[in-house]
Amino acid sequence: MILDISLKMLRRVSKATYTINNLQNKVKLPDRFKGTIIETWAKYWKNLFIDYRQMLQDLRTDIQDDPRKALKWTTIIITVAALTKNTPNEFDFRDDMKKITNEVILVSEDCRNPKSIEHLRLLQQCYNEGNIHYRNLGIIAFMYTSDLNASCDLYKGQCSYLQPTYLNSLSRIVDVGFMGRWWNIYIKTTNYDVNPETK
């Protein structure tokens, strides 16, 4: 499958080089625009097309010379693109939290796992206080907490000396989103209906 993708990519590169070459030969500037800003602009785009044409020709040559390297890079690019596309967002997190909370409500209090309940209460408290935030880093996303709400205008929220350090920021991470799932909430609420304290 990856070999087919590499071959399709090679064909597209060849086609793009041919198209750019034809476009450069067909487009000519009328005499009335010579010496104007339009001519400067046209030269800029022409040089840009030449650069891209050369880049595509070099890419085609590299793919033909070393197909293993091209296959490796194609695999890396496809993997990163797939991971980036499947990174969960804050709506997914809230949706998971609501679904699990609704399922936990249906379970008897004696059967509920205290760790799962405690984690869900912490998340609900953070949302009620407005100090939970979302950060997307491409292939991975984080839900983290802060001391104060974003709309709070106290001195503690404004002073740069009172802001958390990077090492302290790691302890504020509530959940990590990767490969289409929020992992902390998944792990902590998998056995929400199993109470280890009851015998």
Single out the residue in 85, 100, 129 at which a domain terminates.
85
**Under DSSP, is residue 17 helix (H, G, I), strand (E, B) or coil?**
helix
Range of the domain at 173: 90-188
Single out the residue in 58, 85, 112 at which a domain terminates.
85
What distance in Å separates the CA atoms of residue 15 and residue 102, rounded to the nearest whole number?
Answer: 54
Q: What pLDDT digit, counting tens, does each position of 146-196 carry?
A: 876 666 666 666 666 666 666 777 778 888 999 889 998 888 888 888 877
**Are 39 and 128 found together in one domain?**
no
Q: Specify whether the CB–CB gap between 146 and 173 falls below 8 A.
A: no
Cβ within 8 Å of residue 88, ≥6 positions away: 141, 177, 180, 181, 182
Q: What pLDDT digit, counting tens, does each position of 86-103 carry?
A: 899 989 999 989 999 898
What percent of the chain clears pLDDT 70, i.e. is strictly above it?
Answer: 73
- Supply the pLDDT for residue 176: 92
**Are 103 and 32 found together in one domain?**
no
pLDDT classification of 128: cutoffs 50, 70, 90: confident
How many domains does the chain fold into? 2
**Are 41 and 97 found together in one domain?**
no
pLDDT classification of 18: cutoffs 50, 70, 90: low
Mutual orientation of helices 2-26 and 67-85 as an angle, nearest 10°? 100
